[in-house]
Chains A and B, each alone.
Chain A
Amino acid sequence: MLSVDPFNLICTVVNLLILFVALRIFLFKPVQKIIAERQAQADAQLKDAAAKQQEAQNLKEQYSSSLAKAEEEKRQLLNTARKEADEQYQKIVDEAKAQAKQIEERATADAENRKNRILKNTEKEIADMVVAAAEKMVGSQSGVKIDRSLYDEFLGKAGEEQ
């Protein structure tokens, strides 16, 4: 019972070593390999997901920044457009004012001319009338008195007109 048999002892040692190697080949190595593979896969997936998230974050930032830029651009465009429109408006109004002034001046000058012409015509007509009247008067009644009064009157009228 308590005897130690060298052959059986060595046999057990050899058995244990064989069992160790066999279990290592058939049990531990394959299972550990597959677990390591799974771990690697999971790690890769996690890394991938993190990278994708980072990418999405970058895109989001890019979008928001470009959106802000567009907003800014829009505001600038609106500003310049408004300014231009203002200038245009001012120019048109100024032009219109100038034109109106020109028209007014021309009209005034025209009216003046016409007035002068009418006055001249009237003067001429009056002179004719006077001459005609004088002729009539000369033709019907003669005398120094009449001549004299006629000239006086004429001269007086002429003087008034001058």
Chain B
Amino acid sequence: MKQFESDDNSASIISVTDKVRPLALGMPVIAVHFLGDRAAFIGAEENVALVDGAGEISTVVVHGGGILCVATDGARIVMGGDDGKLVALDKKGETALLATDPKRRWIDNVALHPDGAVAWSAGKTAFVRSGKAEEKSFEVPSTVGGLAFAPKGVRLAVAHYNGVTLWFPNMAANAEVLEWAGSHLGVVFSPDNKFLVTAMHEPALHGWRLADHRHMRMTGYPGRVRSMSWSAGGKALATSGADSVIMWPFASKDGPMGKEPAMFAPLQARVSMVACHPKQDILAVGYSDGTILMVRMTDGAEILVRKNGGAAVSALAWNPKGTLLAFAAEDGDGGLLEL
């Protein structure tokens, strides 16, 4: 176990803490994404803080209440709120209202497709709107826990209690159901479209190989997995939920079946956020005690980005080029690191 308790301790590790541009965001942050050359910090309520390279903060009001879900396709960020609204924010910092739930139900989940389609959910109903086609909806047996578009084709994974439904909004074909007992709260496709992984309410992941629906149980976490990130090329899936980063291997055709995960960067704190570098085998890791590390996947070498002592890290993202790392904690303390 390693700890970064004091200055003398951090002498033993390479530190780039002095290169971080600190940001006082003034609000709890739930996510960060890059929009063009600005970092967009999504607040827990109402606002997004857009921060440029010079650290200038401009605030945009996006919701009239709590912000419950966020997705981005690089061109825009789409958010759902407890005001029943689905709102898009573009690179210019302009907002567009995409949908309003007629009953003002919470918009719990949102997903974006590279071709411009957007999916969202309220209660048990998932909705899809693509550029050309009209809006379609699909109901699952219990409240939607997570949404994800497949990387190829228009196929939407809808996670719910006791499994995931794969829905093809543009086809007459029946939806396909992947069953597994329990509540599935997050869902991701592997970038090669071969695997589907869910984060469950219990501290575990579950996966399916899509070709034959073979199950993959990924258990052993002390806490619920809230953050998942695919490494460059989709070779591995990095996850939060333990006191080190848990990385499941997905490079072979069997995925992680019968394999042990790699474990990196153990601290005496829970990993709260993971973000893999878009091009290199590096990932950024945020912890419940506020620490942020950069870790090289090949040998586990660590670089200190932020010392511990603050609130849990709640947002972490690289820009698409991989030259900027943005982060924020639950208490609104954030930063930008240029590499």
B partners with A: no
Q: State the B residues within 8 Å of A (CB).
A: none
